[in-house]
Amino acid sequence: MTVEKSTPPAVHLGQSDVEDQLQAIPEKSRTTRVGGQFWIWAGANLAPINWVLGALGINLGLGVRDTITVIVIGNLIGMSLFGCFVLLGQKTGATGMVLARAAFGRRGDYLPAAIQASVTIGWCAINTYVILDLVLALFGKLHWLDPADHNYGWKIGTAAFLMAAQVIIAWFGYRAIAAFERWTVPPTIVILVAMSLFAWFGLDIDWGYAGPPGEVLHGWDRIAVMSSVMTVIGIGWGITWFTYAADYSRFVSREVPRRKLYLASTLGQFLPVVWLGVLGASLATKSQSVDPGQLVVDNFGALAVPVLLLVIHGPIATNILNIYTFSVATQALDIKVKRNSLNLFVGVLSFIAVIFFVYQEDLAEVLDSFLSSLVAWVASWGGLMLVHYYRFNRIRPIPSARLFDPIGSKRLPDINWPGVCALLGGMIATWLFMAQSIEVLQSPLVTAMGGLDLSWLAGLVVSASIYAIFGPRAHFRYAERQAETASQIPADPR
């Protein structure tokens, strides 16, 4: 029997104490209610950002059918892979960036952890900006301001208020996040059902819309734009959640059947993304706009006020995950600061980023550039992590207790160069196959292919291949140390 020395458990005074410092979530602090995972992921995606993503396909020149096809097929693939990372959190009790220590090394993991922390700031800023846009549209309907003006003071003041609300909810940790989603998502769904019925049956939606008059895309141009949209709102959307998955599934008891957890989490992601993506695409046929406030106000008229008041919760539900994940990703950098304090810090950084978005004129281009760039690292990270945990670790498992060893541990590599090189190689491959909105940043390869975007596929395959070839030696060497350690521990006299 193999014996593994593990980190002593902390003294558990309550859920917040368990979460203050980075540690494995013990079984007694976990929940057997899998429904919480469904509501968390559904709430995170029942947000106006997904109207924008659906409308983005129309804005870039695609028709309704092509946009819906990309959204449905892409998210089927992306969310099915997302579920694999959900299961890792339940199995180990570790966050996504702590799980990465096995593949990147104890200090090598600083690279992905730093990237993840930075990405959450960008997401928090974008989602707050979308809330801000909705609120300003509401204020315009109430005649509190002139929507034609820039209203920078209103925008910045409202952003500060909303950011504070998001930080407060995230402050109280997983249980508060799960409770917020569980109580707010169901009534939001009711409103969105009514909203969708009104839009699809009460408005003159052009379901046969194939593109701007006289500018309908054909042939290779159409395929190239579809591939770009697939990266942003299809497979790429599911991929962007890979690094978040374990941060929340680690609170689910190991007694919960894996299949049940997998289905609850993936459906919680898939259903709202597809639903709101289709809603955004259909509304955009009337205005070709990606502005969420304009999409609502232009299409719903007097109904815009109650709709805006009730669906404003969506981006808040998303941002409490971004704020929480920032805190645990930062702790994975061995920064000894409590999670609550880090919540305040990310709120300030995100607020600064919101101000940047307020002064951007073309939100569509900003969104496209930011979301596309996310795939460059998440697809690469996901590819090698899948190889590590669903291939290497199944052949020769390394106990998860090692992931929490202090710096200098001999049971984990300090820097696992195959993992680091696989990540960097995958990111380079992603750039080589990514269609950029900024022409000077686009690789000659994409230009030669007529703008075809296969970045997500290139990142996954290249990083997974590099790690599959060069990773086994390091993994199996440290797995052997487990057996050596076990052989040196005296047998239990009992």
Positions in the chain whose pLDDT score sits under 50: 1-13, 486-494
Cβ-Cβ contacts under 8 Å for 259 (sequence gap 6 or more): none
CA distances from 322 to 114, 170, 328, 434 (A): 14, 9, 10, 25
Q: Which domains are seen in the chain, by residue range? A: 29-364 (1.10.4160.10)
CB-count burial class (<10 Å; 0-12, 13-18, 19+) for 463: buried
292-300 and 110-141 helices, crossing angle to 10°? 30
Asked whether 348 and 390 are in contact (CB, 8 A), the reply is: no
Could you list the beta-strand ranges (E) of 105-222. none
417-432 and 455-470 helices, crossing angle to 10°? 160
**Cα–Cα distance measured from residue 132 to residue 162, given in angstroms and rounded to the nearest whole number:** 8
Q: Which of 322, 363, 311, 351 is nearest to 134 (CA)?
A: 311
Predicted confidence at residue 425, as pLDDT, reads 96
Tokens read off for 123: 């997401």
Predicted confidence at residue 291, as pLDDT, reads 61
Cα 293 from chain centroid? 23
Predicted confidence at residue 464, as pLDDT, reads 97
Tell me the β-bridge partners of 252: 31
Predicted confidence at residue 309, as pLDDT, reads 66
Predicted confidence at residue 12, as pLDDT, reads 38
**Cα–Cα distance measured from residue 114 to residue 119, given in angstroms and rounded to the nearest whole number:** 9
3-state secondary structure of 252: strand
Asked whether 123 and 329 are in contact (CB, 8 A), the reply is: no
Predicted confidence at residue 403, as pLDDT, reads 92
Q: Buried (b) or exposed (e) across 33-64, using 16+ Cβ within 10 A?
A: bbebbbbbbbbbbbbbbbbbbbbbbbbbbbbb
Predicted TM-score (pTM) above 0.75: yes
